[in-house]
C-alpha cells in the first residue's frame, strides 16, 4: 500500500536552498507544497514568496490550494486581458502593436500615470491593501478586488496596482505586516520573470533595496520550461512607413534611431541565410561565418546606443501610433532585439551560436482571435532559465527555490543543470489501482513506414483494432466497460492523417477543436489528440479509464551538441508520460486505470530518460496487463 499523498514539511524547504520534488501524477505535489508555503507565510520568515506556474489556469488552481490551506495573504497576478478596465484601448493597442500589455504604458487608469500625477503612490497602495485585509476576511486579492473595494472612488485599474505590488520588491510589505504576522504570497506565471519588460521592472526595483531580503520562489510543473528554455522569436521584418517616420522624428542629433530597422533586418537575414548555407560547408566553418557576421554587426558602440535609444522611447512611439492610428512593427522587434538579447547574441560561442538557434514558421495572434503564420528565427536561451530556477542569486540575492516536477529524471537534471543529488527528492511510489501495458503497432520506427501506413490507411485500422482490443481486455479483467479512452498521437501530422482516413470511410467524428476530436468504439467514447497539444499538460481528465500513447517518436534530434540530443529525447519521454498519466489524479483511483505505451518507448535511446518513479511503475509486475501483441497489430 502506498502513501496516500506527499507530505512536505516547512523544514524541508527552510533547510535547503534548493529543493527539487519529483513524484507521480496525482500524488498531490502542488497541494503539499502549497500547504508548506501557507505555513511559511504565517511564520513570516521570508520577505516575499512567489508561487509561479506555466499558465493562468494553473495559477488559479494554485490559488485554490492555498485557500484550502488557509493562506492569509495571496496576491494573484492575472493576465491583463482578464482584468483590464479599459478594454477598448486594449484592443486598439493589440491591433496596432500585437502586444496588448503595452496599453498600461499610456492608459490613464494605470497606476503609472496616477503616480506621475502624484494622486496616489505605491506606498499608499500597500497601506490600503493591508488595511483592506485587516478589515475583511479576504485571503486572496485580485485586480477586481482592488477596483471594487480598495479604490472604489478612484479611476485606477486594478491590474496596474497588482502589477506594481508584484514587480516592485522595493515596496516593503514587512514594515506594514508587524500586526498581521504574515508574508505575502504572489501567484503569477513563469513568464513574468522571463519577459524583458516585466523582468526589467523587477530588477530595477530590486537594485534599490538597501537591506538584504530573503525570498522564496516556487516553480510548479517546471518541466517544459527547463526543456525549452527562454524562447526569443525574431520575426521576419515587417516594418511600416510609420516606423521610419517616427524613428527619424525622435532621433537625437548624434545618431539616427532609424538605423534600428537596418540592424534588425540585417540580423534576421544573416542568421536565416546562414542556416540555409550550413549544409554546403563543414558545420564548424559555416557556424564560424555566421558568428563573424553577427559580431561585425553588433559589436559597434553605435548599435548599443541605437537599441537602447529605441527602448527608452517606446511610450512616445506608442502615443504617436495611437494618435495617428498607425500599425507598427517596432514593439515586436524590440521584444526580440533589446539590450539584454543584444548581450545574449554577442556572447554565444562558435558551436553554441547555432546550437540554440533555429529557423521556423511560427503562429502568432492577429487581433483578438485569428492567428497567422510568420517566418521567424527562434533563439533559445537555457542559461537564463537555469539561473532563474536553480540559482540562489537570481532574480534576487538570497533566493531559495522549490522546483516541482513529475517527469524530470534526477540523472538528467544533474547532467544538464549541475543539480546536486542532495537537492533532489524522488517519491518512489506506484499508484494503486493503476495498471500498465505495452503494445507494438509499428513493425519498424522508420519514416518510410510511417508514410506508407498513412497512404494505405493500414495504420488507422491498426489503431482502431488496438482500441477495441484494450476495451475488451479492460472489460474482461475488471468486469465493467471503461468510461472512456484517450488516444495520444505522436504528432499533429499523425493525428490529422488518422482523421483523414476516417473521413474517407465516412466514419462519425466529433471535432471538439483544432487539436481535439472524438469517436465511438464499442459504445465507448474515445478522445483523440496529440502530444504537444494544449491538453497535454495542465488539463486533468479523470473521467477516462484508458490512456494510450502511440509511438514511435520520429522527432529527429537537433544537429548540434549533446544538449539538443538530451532535450529532444527527454521531451519525447516527458510529453508521453505527462499525457498518458492525465487520467491518474489520485494515488488510489476509485475505478481501475490502464496506461498503455508503444513498445518503442522502452528501447534506446528513449528508455534512459524516464523518471525514477516511472521506472518503478513499469517494473511492478503485479500491475502489468498482458496484451496479445501479435493479435493487436495484425489486420
Residues 306, 216: one domain? no
| pLDDT higher than 60, residue 349 | no
Q: What is the pLDDT of residue 523?
A: 92
| pLDDT higher than 90, residue 589 | no
Q: Which of 145-149, 234-238, 578-582 bottoms out in mean pLDDT, i.e. has the lowest?
A: 145-149
Q: Residue 351: is it exposed, middle or buried by C-beta count within 10 angstroms (0-12/13-18/19+)?
A: middle
Q: pLDDT higher for 239 or 111? A: 239
For the segment 432-459, what is each residue's pLDDT rounded down to a tens digit?
Answer: 888 888 887 766 544 433 443 444 467 7
* Residue 411 within a domain: no
Q: What is the pLDDT of residue 372?
A: 52
DSSP annotation of 624 reads B
Q: Residue 214: is it exposed, middle or buried by C-beta count within 10 angstroms (0-12/13-18/19+)?
A: middle
Distance CA 19, CA 39 (A): 17
Cis peptide before 368 (omega within 30 of 0): no
* Residue 33 within a domain: yes
Q: pLDDT higher for 601 or 246? A: 246
Answer with the one of 381, 398, 422 that is the final residue of a domain: 381
Residues 249, 206: one domain? no
The whole domain housing 162 covers: 10-221
* Residue 419 within a domain: no
3-state secondary structure of 339: helix
* Residue 348 within a domain: yes
* Residue 414 within a domain: no
Distance CA 411, CA 392 (A): 21
Answer with the one of 155, 187, 221 that is the final residue of a domain: 221
Task: Place 296 in a pLDDT band, splitting at 50, 70 and 90.
Answer: confident
Residues 241, 145: one domain? no
CATH number at residue 173: 3.40.50
Find all residues with CB under 8 Å of 348, minimum gap 6, and list them.
291, 356
| pLDDT higher than 70, residue 400 | yes
Residues 209, 236: one domain? no
Q: What is the pLDDT of residue 450?
A: 43
Residues 238, 119: one domain? no
Answer with the one of 221, 248, 264 that is the final residue of a domain: 221
Query: Residue 223's closest CA among 35, 53, 60?
Result: 53
* Residue 392 within a domain: no
Cell of 48: 516575499
Cα torsion 309, 315, 321, 325 to 10°: value is 170
Residues 21, 42: one domain? yes
For the segment 307-320, what is each residue's pLDDT rounded down to a tens digit?
Answer: 999 999 998 999 99
* Residue 361 within a domain: yes
| pLDDT higher than 80, residue 83 | no
158, 142 in Cβ contact below 8 A?
Answer: yes
| pLDDT higher than 80, residue 285 | no
Q: What is the rounded average pLDDT of the residues 152-174?
A: 78
Q: What is the rounded average pLDDT of the residues 462-475?
A: 90
Q: Among 63-77, 295-309, 458-472, which range has the highest average pLDDT?
A: 63-77
β-pair partners for 218: 51, 402
Q: What percent of the chain has pLDDT over 90?
A: 21
For the segment 53-75, what is each residue's pLDDT rounded down to a tens digit?
Answer: 988 888 999 999 999 999 988 99
Q: Which of 23-37, 163-177, 570-584 bottoms out in mean pLDDT, i.e. has the lowest?
A: 163-177
Residues 43, 172: one domain? yes
Residues 545, 474: one domain? yes
DSSP annotation of 150 reads I
Cell of 594: 490502464
Q: What is the pLDDT of residue 553?
A: 57
Residues 214, 236: one domain? no
> Total structural domains in the chain?
3
In three-state form (DSSP H/G/I as H, E/B as E, the rest C), the secondary structure along 248-290 is HHHCCCCCCCCHHHHHHHHHHHHHHHHHHHHHHCCHHHHHHHH
Q: pLDDT higher for 285 or 424? A: 424
Distance CA 204, CA 199 (A): 9
Residues 83, 202: one domain? yes
Q: What is the rounded average pLDDT of the residues 16-23?
A: 89
Task: Place 179 in a pLDDT band, splitting at 50, 70 and 90.
Answer: low
* Residue 3 within a domain: no
Residues 213, 73: one domain? yes
Q: What is the pLDDT of residue 411?
A: 77
Q: What percent of the chain has pLDDT over 70?
A: 78
Distance CA 142, CA 74 (A): 9
Q: pLDDT higher for 269 or 352? A: 269
| pLDDT higher than 50, residue 369 | no
52, 218 in Cβ contact below 8 A?
Answer: yes
For the segment 122-162, what is each residue's pLDDT rounded down to a tens digit?
Answer: 677 777 777 777 676 667 888 877 766 666 666 778 888 88
For the segment 521-532, what is each residue's pLDDT rounded down to a tens digit?
Answer: 999 999 999 987
| pLDDT higher than 70, residue 112 | no
Q: What is the pLDDT of residue 563?
A: 57
Residues 234, 216: one domain? no
Q: What is the pLDDT of residue 449?
A: 38
| pLDDT higher than 50, residue 35 | yes
Q: What is the rounded average pLDDT of the residues 281-302?
A: 68
Q: Which of 122-126, 326-330, 553-557, 571-575 bottoms out in mean pLDDT, i.e. has the lowest?
A: 553-557
For the segment 560-575, what is each residue's pLDDT rounded down to a tens digit?
Answer: 445 556 777 788 888 8
pLDDT averaged over the chain? 79
Amino acid at each position: 500500500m502506498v502513501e496516500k499523498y506527499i507530505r512536505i514539511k516547512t523544514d524541508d524547504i527552510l533547510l535547503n536552498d534548493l529543493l527539487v520534488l519529483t513524484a507521480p501524477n496525482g500524488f498531490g505535489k502542488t497541494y503539499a507544497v502549497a500547504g508548506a508555503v501557507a505555513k511559511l507565510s504565517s511564520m513570516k520568515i521570508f520577505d516575499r514568496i512567489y508561487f509561479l506556474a506555466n499558465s493562468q489556469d494553473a495559477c488559479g488552481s494554485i490559488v485554490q490550494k492555498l485557500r484550502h490551506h488557509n493562506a492569509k495573504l495571496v496576491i494573484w497576478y492575472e493576465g491583463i486581458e482578464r482584468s483590464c478596465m479599459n478594454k477598448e484601448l486594449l484592443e486598439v493597442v493589440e491591433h496596432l502593436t500585437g502586444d496588448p500589455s503595452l496599453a498600461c504604458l499610456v492608459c490613464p487608469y494605470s497606476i503609472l500615470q496616477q503616480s506621475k500625477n502624484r494622486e496616489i503612490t505605491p506606498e499608499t497602495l500597500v497601506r490600503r491593501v493591508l488595511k483592506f485585509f485587516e478589515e475583511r476576511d479576504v485571503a486572496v486579492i485580485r485586480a477586481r478586488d482592488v477596483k471594487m473595494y480598495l479604490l472604489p472612488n478612484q479611476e485606477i485599474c486594478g491590474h496596474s496596482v497588482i502589477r506594481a505590488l508584484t514587480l516592485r520588491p522595493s515596496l516593503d510589505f514587512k514594515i506594514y505586516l508587524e500586526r498581521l504576522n504574515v508574508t505575502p504570497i504572489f501567484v503569477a506565471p513563469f513568464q513574468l520573470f522571463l519577459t524583458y519588460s516585466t523582468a526589467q521592472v523587477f530588477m530595477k526595483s530590486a537594485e534599490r533595496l538597501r537591506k538584504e531580503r530573503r525570498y522564496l520562489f516556487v516553480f510548479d510543473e517546471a518541466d517544459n520550461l527547463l526543456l525549452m528554455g527562454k524562447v526569443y522569436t525574431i520575426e521576419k521584418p515587417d516594418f511600416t512607413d510609420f516606423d521610419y517616420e517616427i524613428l527619424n522624428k525622435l532621433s537625437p542629433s548624434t545618431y539616427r534611431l532609424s538605423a534600428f530597422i537596418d540592424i534588425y533586418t540585417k540580423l534576421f537575414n544573416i542568421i536565416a541565410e546562414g542556416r540555409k548555407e550550413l549544409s554546403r560547408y563543414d558545420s564548424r566553418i559555416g557556424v564560424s561565418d555566421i558568428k563573424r557576421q553577427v559580431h561585425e554587426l553588433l559589436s559597434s558602440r553605435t548599435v548599443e546606443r541605437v537599441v537602447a535609444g529605441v527602448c527608452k522611447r517606446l511610450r512616445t512611439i506608442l502615443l504617436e501610433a495611437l494618435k495617428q492610428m498607425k500599425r507598427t512593427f517596432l514593439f515586436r522587434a524590440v521584444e526580440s532585439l533589446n539590450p539584454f538579447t543584444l548581450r545574449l547574441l554577442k556572447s554565444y560561442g562558435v558551436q553554441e551560436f547555432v546550437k540554440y538557434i533555429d529557423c521556423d514558421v511560427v503562429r502568432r495572434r492577429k487581433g483578438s482571435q485569428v492567428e497567422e503564420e510568420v517566418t521567424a528565427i527562434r533563439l533559445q536561451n537555457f542559461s537564463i532559465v537555469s539561473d532563474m530556477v536553480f540559482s540562489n542569486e537570481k532574480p534576487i540575492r538570497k533566493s531559495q527555490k522549490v522546483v516541482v516536477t513529475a517527469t524530470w529524471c534526477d540523472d538528467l537534471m544533474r547532467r544538464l543543470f549541475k543539480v546536486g543529488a542532495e537537492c533532489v527528492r524522488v517519491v518512489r511510489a506506484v499508484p494503486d489501482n493503476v495498471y500498465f501495458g505495452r503494445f507494438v503497432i509499428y513493425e519498424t520506427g522508420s519514416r518510410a513506414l510511417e508514410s506508407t501506413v498513412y497512404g494505405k490507411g493500414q495504420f488507422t485500422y491498426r489503431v482502431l483494432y488496438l482500441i477495441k482490443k484494450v476495451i475488451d481486455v479492460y472489460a474482461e479483467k475488471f468486469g465493467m466497460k471503461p468510461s472512456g479512452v484517450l488516444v495520444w498521437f505522436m504528432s499533429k501530422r499523425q493525428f490529422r492523417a488518422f482523421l483523414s482516413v476516417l473521413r474517407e470511410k465516412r466514419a462519425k467524428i466529433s471535432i471538439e477543436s483544432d487539436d481535439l476530436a472524438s469517436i465511438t468504439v464499442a459504445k465507448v467514447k474515445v478522445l483523440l489528440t496529440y502530444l504537444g497539444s494544449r491538453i497535454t499538460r495542465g488539463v486533468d481528465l479523470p473521467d477516462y479509464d484508458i490512456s494510450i500513447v502511440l509511438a514511435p517518436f520520429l522527432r529527429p534530434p537537433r544537429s548540434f551538441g549533446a544538449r539538443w540530443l538530451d532535450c529532444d529525447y527527454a521531451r519525447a519521454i516527458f510529453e508521453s508520460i505527462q499525457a498518458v498519466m492525465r487520467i491518474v489524479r489520485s494515488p488510489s483511483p476509485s475505478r481501475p486505470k490502464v496506461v498503455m505505451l508503444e513498445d518503442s518507448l522502452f528501447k534506446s535511446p528513449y528508455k534512459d530518460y524516464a523518471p525514477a518513479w516511472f521506472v518503478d511503475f513499469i517494473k511492478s509486475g503485479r500491475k502489468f496487463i498482458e496484451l496479445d501483441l501479435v493479435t493487436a497489430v495484425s489486420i
